[in-house]
Amino acid sequence: MNLRTISTQPFTDQKPGTSGLRKSVPTFQQPHYLENFIQSIFDSLENCEGATLVLGGDGRYFNRPAIQTILKMAAANGFGRVLVGQEGILSTPAASCIIRENQAIGGIILSASHNPGGPEGDFGVKFNTSNGGPAPEKVTEAIYERSKTIDRYTILEAGDVNLDRAASFKLGTLSVEVIDPVDSYSTLMESLFDFEKIRNLLTSGKFRLCMDSMHAVTGPYARKILEGILGAPEGTVMNGEPLEDFGGGHPDPNLVYAHDLVEILFSKDAPDFGAASDGDGDRNMVLGNNFFVNPSDSLAVLTANAALVPGYSQGLSGVARSMPTSQAVDRVAKKLGIDCYETPTGWKFFGNLLDADKATLCGEESFGTGSNHVREKDGLWAILFWLNILAARDQSVEEIVRHHWQAYGRNFYSRHDYEAVDKQRATDLMKHLQAQFSQLEGQKVGTYEVEYADDFSYTDPVDGSVSENQGLRIGFTDGSRIIFRLSGTGTQGATLRLYIESYEPDASKHDVDPQVALAPLIDIAEQLAQIRQFTERDEPTVIT
């Protein structure tokens, strides 16, 4: 073997966020930048010698050359086997599935999730641990600490591996297995859902489905499972070919960026069910005929109907939601007599709960839902879950959600995103808001009385670890909430997220537009935080 040790110097900006390291493609293309971070991951692991590693990504620009580099570095660092997705494709939930199935030491997922791709777009590297979930903070901190002192990396001099066909190769002593990216995941889905019942629905001629893969990673998965195994008509999956720039689109499944799907589902002759997934396949948006399902409501509906799905028919051990996600699922958990956990944003916080069997279903308001079948949120899984419920209940999406509101009340909810805000101005806004907290409790603001104002802190019920500074919360005595967070998923400036929630038990008021129902709270948020002044924006970039 021709192993080379390359001298290098640290980069100062390689601190992983909630979903790994995300930067622009040109940043990752700098000499030694990718190699430094990968070596920092390898140096932070124990017992790499002979270990199995899973590798793949969402097909975005720079995915293939990054895979070739990582394979050669894995060979030089003593790994025994790498399982890599054919054509470099591996959705994030499928990667989690394959890590768990093969008892791998972990996996490297190349994705910037819902961020745009292309030569000037974004790229990302995330490490998932042996349970299949995102690396916890103690691991990402170790990787970051190593990145600050790294002075060399090791790589094998060798030709590139052919990623375009399933086969086995040798890179020095490393066994490289190029695998079908869909097989294991598809088998897992079939073990959870009533495929026969879903197949009968999709082939009945009475039900139409439209799935938008947004030219991202779920295209091959949706085509094989929905059109292949379940018999949906060819063409059910739109934008199903993964492209390096996502066809020039923004692979974020929301009402703004999935506009093609929204137009179809809100047309006169709309299908019965519409769904979209994001760049790496871990998010989902669900639509009915002229009807949008809020992600917070989606988690609550899945929880309330879990007994209809074979994989969850024996009951749920508990549920978990991120702190900014609406409290709709809390009401379902209370009725079912199970625990509901409130965690910081970031799927890694669900891992301990799932591993300890404290939670079965988890969800985030950012269009992410999942369960204990893997340790990631899973877009296609959520879509199949909905299809299973629709087949079992023989009702429309809108009927199911409205019946849910009648039973539990409606949590009006919305998220306002201010993207690419100047970081200093965004930070100043948060400081300005937090400075008022000591005087807010017990005060009247408009017609609302403040019950608490704090910076959310979480103590993990499994390992006792504490995560602080997870978002500014203002809670009112009627259960309404206003939450402010600065997101770590963007690569330009800062993204300010404002979350607004109020509860309405009166079914006669459930048809009010959420922006109208929440207008008084939106005004209070502006009044307290002076959003327009600090962001220099008259309105949010995205409202969901």
- Catalytic positions, written as ranges: 113
Q: How far apart are CA 114 and CA 277, in angstroms?
A: 9
Backbone angles phi, psi at 164, to 5 degrees: -90, -5
20 DSSP assignment = B
Q: How far apart are CA 537 and CA 298, in angstroms?
A: 30
* 18 touches 488 (CB < 8 A): yes
Q: Measure Cα distances from 370 to 195, 312, 381, 409 in Å.
A: 18, 12, 7, 23
Q: How far apart are CA 286 and CA 258, in angstroms?
A: 11
* 98 touches 83 (CB < 8 A): yes
Of 174, 97, 126, the closest CA to residue 16 belongs to 126
- Burial readout 69-81 (b: 16 or more C-beta within 10 A, e: otherwise): bbbbbbbbbbbeb
Q: How far apart are CA 229 and CA 74, in angstroms?
A: 35
Q: How far apart are CA 487 and CA 333, in angstroms?
A: 28
Strand ranges for 407-493 from DSSP E: 410-421, 444-445, 448-455, 458-459, 466-467, 472-476, 481-487
Q: Identify any residues that bridge with 3 across adjacent strands, giving them in sequence order.
A: 156
* Exposed / middle / buried, residue 435 (Cβ in 10 Å: 0-12, 13-18, 19+): exposed
Of 275, 188, 193, 197, the closest CA to residue 231 belongs to 197
